[in-house]
Structure 1
Protein backbone atom coordinates (compact mmCIF):
# COMPACT_ATOMS: atom_id res chain seq x y z
CA UNK A 1 0.00 0.00 0.00
CA UNK A 2 1.34 3.44 -0.91
CA UNK A 3 2.09 6.13 1.65
CA UNK A 4 -0.57 8.33 0.03
CA UNK A 5 -3.28 5.72 0.65
CA UNK A 6 -2.18 5.15 4.25
CA UNK A 7 -1.86 8.81 5.17
CA UNK A 8 -5.01 10.52 6.57
CA UNK A 9 -6.73 12.42 3.77
CA UNK A 10 -8.80 14.82 5.87
CA UNK A 11 -8.27 16.49 9.25
CA UNK A 12 -11.12 18.08 11.22
CA UNK A 13 -10.26 20.69 13.85
CA UNK A 14 -12.75 21.96 16.45
CA UNK A 15 -11.95 24.84 18.78
CA UNK A 16 -13.23 24.09 22.26
CA UNK A 17 -11.06 26.72 23.99
CA UNK A 18 -8.99 29.30 22.06
CA UNK A 19 -5.66 30.43 23.44
CA UNK A 20 -5.87 33.86 25.11
CA UNK A 21 -2.83 34.83 23.03
CA UNK A 22 -1.27 33.14 19.99
CA UNK A 23 -2.01 29.48 19.25
CA UNK A 24 -3.08 30.04 15.66
CA UNK A 25 -3.05 27.18 13.16
CA UNK A 26 -0.99 28.01 10.09
CA UNK A 27 -1.94 26.45 6.75
CA UNK A 28 -0.17 26.57 3.38
CA UNK A 29 -0.92 24.98 0.00
CA UNK A 30 1.56 22.18 -0.63
CA UNK A 31 1.68 22.79 -4.40
CA UNK A 32 2.90 26.33 -3.71
CA UNK A 33 5.75 24.87 -1.63
CA UNK A 34 6.82 22.71 -4.61
CA UNK A 35 6.69 25.66 -7.02
CA UNK A 36 8.74 27.92 -4.75
CA UNK A 37 11.32 25.23 -3.91
CA UNK A 38 11.81 24.46 -7.61
CA UNK A 39 12.32 28.16 -8.31
CA UNK A 40 14.83 28.70 -5.52
CA UNK A 41 16.58 25.31 -5.15
CA UNK A 42 15.99 23.27 -8.34
CA UNK A 43 19.08 21.12 -7.76
CA UNK A 44 17.83 19.99 -4.32
CA UNK A 45 14.37 19.14 -5.69
CA UNK A 46 15.95 17.15 -8.54
CA UNK A 47 18.16 15.20 -6.12
CA UNK A 48 15.17 14.45 -3.88
CA UNK A 49 13.29 13.11 -6.91
CA UNK A 50 16.23 10.83 -7.73
CA UNK A 51 17.21 9.65 -4.23
CA UNK A 52 14.22 10.36 -2.01
CA UNK A 53 14.12 11.88 1.48
CA UNK A 54 14.82 10.32 4.87
CA UNK A 55 13.12 12.41 7.56
CA UNK A 56 13.75 11.96 11.28
CA UNK A 57 11.79 13.75 14.00
CA UNK A 58 12.52 13.41 17.73
CA UNK A 59 9.95 13.81 20.51
CA UNK A 60 10.54 15.67 23.75
CA UNK A 61 12.35 14.02 26.65
CA UNK A 62 10.36 13.10 29.75
CA UNK A 63 11.65 16.16 31.63
CA UNK A 64 10.58 18.43 28.74
CA UNK A 65 6.96 17.27 28.76
CA UNK A 66 5.65 20.83 29.27
CA UNK A 67 7.03 22.02 25.92
CA UNK A 68 4.40 24.04 24.09
CA UNK A 69 4.88 22.32 20.72
CA UNK A 70 6.96 19.19 21.19
CA UNK A 71 5.51 16.43 23.36
CA UNK A 72 6.80 13.10 24.67
CA UNK A 73 5.96 9.90 22.85
CA UNK A 74 4.02 8.79 25.93
CA UNK A 75 1.79 11.87 25.62
CA UNK A 76 1.36 11.47 21.86
CA UNK A 77 0.34 7.81 21.97
CA UNK A 78 -1.30 7.74 25.43
CA UNK A 79 0.82 4.81 26.61
CA UNK A 80 4.14 4.21 28.37
CA UNK A 81 4.62 0.81 26.68
CA UNK A 82 7.22 1.01 23.91
CA UNK A 83 5.82 -1.91 21.89
CA UNK A 84 2.33 -0.44 21.93
CA UNK A 85 3.67 3.03 21.12
CA UNK A 86 5.59 1.65 18.12
CA UNK A 87 2.44 -0.09 16.88
CA UNK A 88 0.43 3.12 17.19
CA UNK A 89 3.19 5.12 15.51
CA UNK A 90 3.09 2.81 12.49
CA UNK A 91 -0.71 3.06 12.33
CA UNK A 92 -1.07 6.79 13.00
CA UNK A 93 2.08 8.28 11.46
CA UNK A 94 2.94 5.65 8.84
CA UNK A 95 6.61 5.99 9.77
CA UNK A 96 9.24 3.49 8.66
CA UNK A 97 10.66 2.84 12.13
CA UNK A 98 10.75 4.10 15.71
CA UNK A 99 13.86 4.43 17.90
CA UNK A 100 13.41 4.80 21.68
CA UNK A 101 16.29 6.68 23.31
CA UNK A 102 17.71 6.36 26.81
CA UNK A 103 16.81 9.99 27.65
CA UNK A 104 13.08 9.28 27.33
CA UNK A 105 12.70 10.65 23.81
CA UNK A 106 11.78 8.71 20.69
CA UNK A 107 12.76 9.26 17.07
CA UNK A 108 10.35 8.65 14.21
CA UNK A 109 12.00 7.77 10.89
CA UNK A 110 10.22 8.21 7.54
CA UNK A 111 11.50 7.07 4.15
CA UNK A 112 13.41 7.01 1.99
CA UNK A 113 10.54 8.38 -0.10
CA UNK A 114 9.97 11.17 -2.59
CA UNK A 115 8.42 14.05 -0.62
CA UNK A 116 6.70 15.35 -3.79
CA UNK A 117 3.56 13.58 -5.00
CA UNK A 118 1.04 14.05 -7.82
CA UNK A 119 -2.46 14.82 -6.57
CA UNK A 120 -5.42 16.18 -8.51
CA UNK A 121 -3.21 17.31 -11.35
CA UNK A 122 -0.91 19.20 -8.98
CA UNK A 123 2.49 18.31 -7.55
CA UNK A 124 2.35 18.69 -3.77
CA UNK A 125 5.03 18.66 -1.07
CA UNK A 126 3.73 15.67 0.83
CA UNK A 127 6.37 14.94 3.50
CA UNK A 128 7.58 18.06 5.35
CA UNK A 129 11.14 18.93 6.32
CA UNK A 130 10.02 20.30 9.68
CA UNK A 131 8.55 18.15 12.46
CA UNK A 132 6.23 18.95 15.35
CA UNK A 133 8.87 20.71 17.38
CA UNK A 134 10.12 24.17 18.30
CA UNK A 135 13.72 22.88 18.38
CA UNK A 136 15.27 22.20 14.97
CA UNK A 137 17.93 20.05 16.65
CA UNK A 138 15.14 17.48 17.02
CA UNK A 139 14.75 17.21 13.24
CA UNK A 140 17.20 15.63 10.78
CA UNK A 141 16.82 15.33 7.02
CA UNK A 142 19.00 13.45 4.58
CA UNK A 143 18.81 12.23 1.02
CA UNK A 144 17.86 8.60 0.41
CA UNK A 145 21.50 7.60 0.07
CA UNK A 146 22.25 8.92 3.58
CA UNK A 147 24.02 12.10 2.49
CA UNK A 148 23.21 15.24 4.48
CA UNK A 149 20.57 17.70 3.40
CA UNK A 150 22.16 21.14 2.91
CA UNK A 151 21.18 23.63 5.62
CA UNK A 152 20.22 26.05 2.84
CA UNK A 153 17.38 23.70 1.87
CA UNK A 154 16.01 23.66 5.42
CA UNK A 155 16.22 27.44 5.75
CA UNK A 156 14.65 28.06 2.34
CA UNK A 157 11.84 25.59 3.03
CA UNK A 158 11.03 27.35 6.32
CA UNK A 159 11.08 30.75 4.62
CA UNK A 160 8.68 29.54 1.92
CA UNK A 161 6.26 28.23 4.53
CA UNK A 162 6.39 31.50 6.45
CA UNK A 163 5.98 33.65 3.35
CA UNK A 164 2.99 31.74 1.98
CA UNK A 165 1.03 30.53 5.02
CA UNK A 166 -2.27 31.83 6.39
CA UNK A 167 -2.75 31.94 10.17
CA UNK A 168 -6.17 30.80 11.36
CA UNK A 169 -7.13 32.71 14.51
CA UNK A 170 -9.36 30.48 16.61
CA UNK A 171 -12.67 31.39 18.24
CA UNK A 172 -14.71 29.03 20.41
CA UNK A 173 -16.85 26.77 18.23
CA UNK A 174 -14.80 27.20 15.06
CA UNK A 175 -14.43 24.19 12.76
CA UNK A 176 -11.65 23.77 10.20
CA UNK A 177 -11.49 21.01 7.58
CA UNK A 178 -8.06 20.48 5.99
CA UNK A 179 -7.23 18.38 2.94
CA UNK A 180 -4.16 16.71 4.43
CA UNK A 181 -2.87 15.58 1.03
CA UNK A 182 -2.64 19.09 -0.40
CA UNK A 183 -2.33 21.43 2.60
CA UNK A 184 0.35 21.58 5.30
CA UNK A 185 -0.52 22.80 8.77
CA UNK A 186 1.36 23.82 11.90
CA UNK A 187 0.68 25.40 15.27
CA UNK A 188 1.89 28.79 16.43
CA UNK A 189 3.10 29.08 20.04
CA UNK A 190 0.46 30.43 22.39
CA UNK A 191 -0.56 30.85 26.00
CA UNK A 192 -2.70 28.17 27.67
CA UNK A 193 -5.41 27.17 27.99
CA UNK A 194 -5.87 26.06 24.39
CA UNK A 195 -8.08 23.11 23.47
CA UNK A 196 -8.31 22.20 19.79
CA UNK A 197 -9.91 18.79 19.19
CA UNK A 198 -8.74 16.85 16.14
CA UNK A 199 -10.28 14.02 14.14
CA UNK A 200 -8.68 12.35 11.11
CA UNK A 201 -10.05 10.12 8.40
CA UNK A 202 -8.42 8.08 5.64
Structure 2
Protein backbone atom coordinates (compact mmCIF):
# COMPACT_ATOMS: atom_id res chain seq x y z
CA UNK A 1 0.00 0.00 0.00
CA UNK A 2 1.48 3.37 -1.06
CA UNK A 3 1.48 6.36 1.24
CA UNK A 4 -0.89 9.08 0.07
CA UNK A 5 -0.93 12.37 1.90
CA UNK A 6 0.35 15.89 2.41
CA UNK A 7 3.47 15.18 4.47
CA UNK A 8 7.05 14.92 3.24
CA UNK A 9 8.52 11.43 3.60
CA UNK A 10 11.51 9.59 2.16
CA UNK A 11 11.03 6.13 0.72
CA UNK A 12 13.44 3.74 2.47
CA UNK A 13 12.68 0.23 1.20
CA UNK A 14 9.58 -1.42 -0.25
CA UNK A 15 6.75 -0.35 2.09
CA UNK A 16 9.03 1.42 4.59
CA UNK A 17 9.10 5.23 4.73
CA UNK A 18 10.37 7.88 7.09
CA UNK A 19 7.82 9.39 9.43
CA UNK A 20 6.80 13.02 8.81
CA UNK A 21 9.96 14.99 8.03
CA UNK A 22 8.42 18.34 8.92
CA UNK A 23 10.10 20.52 11.57
CA UNK A 24 10.51 18.78 14.93
CA UNK A 25 9.55 22.06 16.58
CA UNK A 26 5.96 21.58 15.37
CA UNK A 27 3.41 19.38 17.11
CA UNK A 28 1.64 16.93 14.80
CA UNK A 29 -2.01 16.69 15.78
CA UNK A 30 -3.67 13.38 16.60
CA UNK A 31 -4.91 11.53 13.55
CA UNK A 32 -5.66 8.19 11.96
CA UNK A 33 -3.19 7.57 9.14
CA UNK A 34 -4.54 8.61 5.71
CA UNK A 35 -7.95 9.37 7.21
CA UNK A 36 -8.80 11.96 4.54
CA UNK A 37 -8.78 9.53 1.61
CA UNK A 38 -11.20 6.74 0.71
CA UNK A 39 -9.07 3.82 1.85
CA UNK A 40 -7.00 3.95 5.04
CA UNK A 41 -4.49 1.31 6.16
CA UNK A 42 -5.57 -0.97 8.98
CA UNK A 43 -2.13 -1.28 10.56
CA UNK A 44 0.70 1.20 11.13
CA UNK A 45 4.14 0.00 12.25
CA UNK A 46 6.85 2.29 13.62
CA UNK A 47 10.55 1.66 14.23
CA UNK A 48 12.84 4.01 16.14
CA UNK A 49 16.24 4.35 14.49
CA UNK A 50 17.36 7.51 16.33
CA UNK A 51 15.51 8.54 19.52
CA UNK A 52 15.36 12.27 20.22
CA UNK A 53 17.43 13.64 23.12
CA UNK A 54 14.34 15.38 24.49
CA UNK A 55 10.62 15.21 23.69
CA UNK A 56 9.40 13.59 20.49
CA UNK A 57 7.02 11.12 22.13
CA UNK A 58 4.24 9.56 20.09
CA UNK A 59 0.99 10.25 21.96
CA UNK A 60 -1.78 7.68 21.58
CA UNK A 61 -5.54 7.88 22.14
CA UNK A 62 -8.27 5.21 21.95
CA UNK A 63 -10.49 6.73 19.29
CA UNK A 64 -13.80 5.45 20.66
CA UNK A 65 -13.24 7.36 23.92
CA UNK A 66 -13.22 10.65 22.01
CA UNK A 67 -16.54 9.77 20.38
CA UNK A 68 -18.06 8.80 23.72
CA UNK A 69 -17.04 12.03 25.39
CA UNK A 70 -18.02 14.25 22.47
CA UNK A 71 -21.44 12.58 22.45
CA UNK A 72 -21.77 13.31 26.16
CA UNK A 73 -21.04 17.02 25.68
CA UNK A 74 -22.26 17.72 22.11
CA UNK A 75 -24.84 15.01 21.30
CA UNK A 76 -26.89 17.06 18.83
CA UNK A 77 -23.87 18.55 17.06
CA UNK A 78 -22.15 15.17 16.67
CA UNK A 79 -25.22 13.61 15.05
CA UNK A 80 -25.84 16.68 12.86
CA UNK A 81 -22.23 16.76 11.63
CA UNK A 82 -22.31 13.01 11.06
CA UNK A 83 -25.42 13.32 8.91
CA UNK A 84 -24.06 16.24 6.88
CA UNK A 85 -20.52 14.90 6.51
CA UNK A 86 -17.22 16.78 6.50
CA UNK A 87 -15.14 18.53 3.87
CA UNK A 88 -11.36 18.86 4.05
CA UNK A 89 -9.19 21.12 1.92
CA UNK A 90 -5.39 21.16 1.81
CA UNK A 91 -3.32 23.51 -0.34
CA UNK A 92 -0.04 22.22 -1.75
CA UNK A 93 2.82 23.69 -3.76
CA UNK A 94 4.12 21.89 -6.83
CA UNK A 95 7.35 20.85 -5.06
CA UNK A 96 8.14 19.70 -1.52
CA UNK A 97 8.57 22.18 1.32
CA UNK A 98 10.32 20.59 4.32
CA UNK A 99 9.70 23.70 6.43
CA UNK A 100 6.09 22.55 6.88
CA UNK A 101 4.57 19.45 8.50
CA UNK A 102 2.23 19.32 5.47
CA UNK A 103 4.81 20.30 2.90
CA UNK A 104 4.55 17.58 0.28
CA UNK A 105 4.20 19.04 -3.20
CA UNK A 106 1.47 17.70 -5.44
CA UNK A 107 3.97 16.28 -7.95
CA UNK A 108 5.44 14.06 -5.23
CA UNK A 109 2.05 13.32 -3.68
CA UNK A 110 0.58 12.03 -6.94
CA UNK A 111 3.83 10.73 -8.41
CA UNK A 112 3.57 12.77 -11.61
CA UNK A 113 4.17 16.32 -12.91
CA UNK A 114 1.26 15.92 -15.35
CA UNK A 115 -1.87 17.72 -14.15
CA UNK A 116 -4.30 15.49 -16.03
CA UNK A 117 -2.71 12.37 -14.59
CA UNK A 118 -2.66 13.95 -11.13
CA UNK A 119 -6.40 14.60 -11.44
CA UNK A 120 -6.99 10.97 -12.42
CA UNK A 121 -4.97 9.67 -9.47
CA UNK A 122 -6.65 12.11 -7.10
CA UNK A 123 -10.08 10.97 -8.23
CA UNK A 124 -9.11 7.36 -7.56
CA UNK A 125 -8.62 8.13 -3.85
CA UNK A 126 -11.65 10.41 -3.57
CA UNK A 127 -10.10 13.84 -4.09
CA UNK A 128 -10.99 16.74 -6.36
CA UNK A 129 -8.30 19.19 -7.43
CA UNK A 130 -8.54 22.94 -7.93
CA UNK A 131 -5.49 24.40 -9.67
CA UNK A 132 -4.14 27.65 -8.27
CA UNK A 133 -2.09 30.48 -9.80
CA UNK A 134 1.62 29.89 -9.37
CA UNK A 135 1.48 26.14 -9.87
CA UNK A 136 -0.10 25.08 -6.59
CA UNK A 137 -3.26 23.06 -6.05
CA UNK A 138 -6.09 22.83 -3.56
CA UNK A 139 -7.17 19.27 -2.77
CA UNK A 140 -10.82 18.91 -1.81
CA UNK A 141 -12.11 15.82 -0.02
CA UNK A 142 -15.84 15.48 0.65
CA UNK A 143 -18.02 14.14 2.02
CA UNK A 144 -16.09 12.44 4.80
CA UNK A 145 -17.36 10.77 7.96
CA UNK A 146 -17.09 12.18 11.46
CA UNK A 147 -17.13 8.72 13.05
CA UNK A 148 -16.94 5.13 11.80
CA UNK A 149 -17.63 1.65 13.12
CA UNK A 150 -15.29 -1.11 11.93
CA UNK A 151 -15.69 -4.87 12.06
CA UNK A 152 -13.91 -6.71 14.84
CA UNK A 153 -13.70 -3.75 17.21
CA UNK A 154 -16.64 -4.42 19.53
CA UNK A 155 -18.98 -2.14 17.60
CA UNK A 156 -17.24 0.91 18.97
CA UNK A 157 -17.75 4.20 17.17
CA UNK A 158 -14.34 5.64 16.29
CA UNK A 159 -13.58 9.36 16.03
CA UNK A 160 -12.39 8.84 12.46
CA UNK A 161 -11.69 12.38 11.33
CA UNK A 162 -9.03 15.08 11.43
CA UNK A 163 -11.15 18.11 12.22
CA UNK A 164 -8.80 19.36 14.95
CA UNK A 165 -5.71 18.92 12.78
CA UNK A 166 -7.03 20.78 9.72
CA UNK A 167 -9.58 23.26 11.06
CA UNK A 168 -8.67 26.90 10.56
CA UNK A 169 -5.05 26.36 9.55
CA UNK A 170 -3.13 28.52 7.09
CA UNK A 171 -3.06 25.93 4.31
CA UNK A 172 -5.99 23.70 5.27
CA UNK A 173 -9.57 23.69 6.46
CA UNK A 174 -12.18 21.36 7.88
CA UNK A 175 -15.84 22.31 7.48
CA UNK A 176 -19.14 20.55 7.04
CA UNK A 177 -19.58 19.10 3.56
CA UNK A 178 -21.89 21.97 2.56
CA UNK A 179 -19.22 24.51 3.52
CA UNK A 180 -20.73 25.49 6.88
CA UNK A 181 -18.09 26.34 9.47
CA UNK A 182 -17.64 24.01 12.44
CA UNK A 183 -17.98 26.02 15.68
CA UNK A 184 -14.68 26.87 17.34
CA UNK A 185 -16.03 25.74 20.71
CA UNK A 186 -16.65 22.25 19.29
CA UNK A 187 -13.14 22.00 17.83
CA UNK A 188 -11.36 23.36 20.91
CA UNK A 189 -13.21 21.09 23.31
CA UNK A 190 -12.48 18.11 21.07
CA UNK A 191 -8.79 19.01 21.16
CA UNK A 192 -8.90 19.17 24.96
CA UNK A 193 -10.66 15.81 25.25
CA UNK A 194 -8.12 14.14 22.98
CA UNK A 195 -5.28 15.48 25.11
CA UNK A 196 -6.99 14.35 28.32
CA UNK A 197 -7.35 10.81 26.96
CA UNK A 198 -3.80 10.54 25.62
CA UNK A 199 -0.87 8.47 26.82
CA UNK A 200 2.73 9.10 25.73
CA UNK A 201 5.03 6.57 24.07
CA UNK A 202 8.65 7.56 24.70
CA UNK A 203 11.02 6.24 22.07
CA UNK A 204 14.20 4.29 22.70
CA UNK A 205 16.54 3.04 19.99
CA UNK A 206 15.22 -0.14 18.39
CA UNK A 207 11.65 0.22 19.69
CA UNK A 208 8.88 -1.15 17.48
CA UNK A 209 5.30 0.07 17.85
CA UNK A 210 2.31 -1.59 16.16
CA UNK A 211 -0.95 0.39 15.96
CA UNK A 212 -4.47 -0.52 14.92
CA UNK A 213 -5.06 2.47 12.67
CA UNK A 214 -8.82 1.94 12.77
CA UNK A 215 -8.92 2.28 16.55
CA UNK A 216 -6.01 4.46 17.72
CA UNK A 217 -5.21 8.11 17.08
CA UNK A 218 -1.55 9.10 17.14
CA UNK A 219 0.51 12.28 16.87
CA UNK A 220 4.02 13.62 17.48
CA UNK A 221 5.24 15.79 20.33
CA UNK A 222 7.81 18.47 19.61
CA UNK A 223 11.42 17.50 20.18
CA UNK A 224 15.04 18.45 19.89
CA UNK A 225 16.89 16.92 16.94
CA UNK A 226 17.85 14.39 15.87
CA UNK A 227 14.84 12.09 15.70
CA UNK A 228 14.40 9.36 13.09
CA UNK A 229 11.41 7.06 13.11
CA UNK A 230 10.52 4.77 10.22
CA UNK A 231 6.99 3.69 9.39
CA UNK A 232 5.17 1.10 7.31
CA UNK A 233 1.48 0.65 6.59
CA UNK A 234 -0.59 -2.31 5.48
CA UNK A 235 -4.17 -3.47 5.07
Q: Normalised by the size of structure 2, how large is the TM-score?
A: 0.70
The answer for the alignment partner of 2:85 in structure 1 is 52
Name the CA shift for 1:86/1:10 in 2 (closer, same or farther; >3 Å): farther
Give the SS at the match of 1:130.
helix
In the alignment, structure 2 segments of 5+ residues that lack a partner are: 1-35
Q: What does 1:1-150 correspond to in 2, within 5 Å? A: 6-59=39-92, 65-67=98-100, 69-73=101-105, 77=109, 81=113, 83=115, 94-99=125-130, 101-102=132-133, 106-119=137-150, 120=153, 121-131=155-165, 136-150=169-183
Name the CA shift for 1:116/1:102 in 2 (closer, same or farther; >3 Å): same
Q: Distance in 1 between the 2:48 and 2:223 partners?
A: 14
**Does the 8 Å contact 2:166/2:173 carry over to 1?**
no
Q: Distance in 1 between the 2:37 and 2:51 partners?
A: 32
**Does the 8 Å contact 2:38/2:126 carry over to 1?**
no
- Count of paired positions: 196
**Does the 8 Å contact 2:88/2:174 carry over to 1?**
yes
In the alignment, structure 1 segments of 5+ residues that lack a partner are: none
**Deviations 1:119-175 (CA, angstroms, capped at 9, x unpaired):** 221111112213379x83333121122211111121111111111111111111000
Name the CA shift for 1:51/1:103 in 2 (closer, same or farther; >3 Å): same
Give the SS at the match of 2:210.
strand
Q: Normalised by the size of structure 1, how large is the TM-score?
A: 0.80
Q: Which has the higher helix share?
A: 1
The answer for the alignment partner of 1:192 in structure 2 is 225
Q: Distance in 1 between the 2:118 and 2:49 partners?
A: 27
**Deviations 1:40-76 (CA, angstroms, capped at 9, x unpaired):** 2222201112111112234579695324x33232696
Q: Distance in 1 between the 2:121 and 2:49 partners?
A: 26
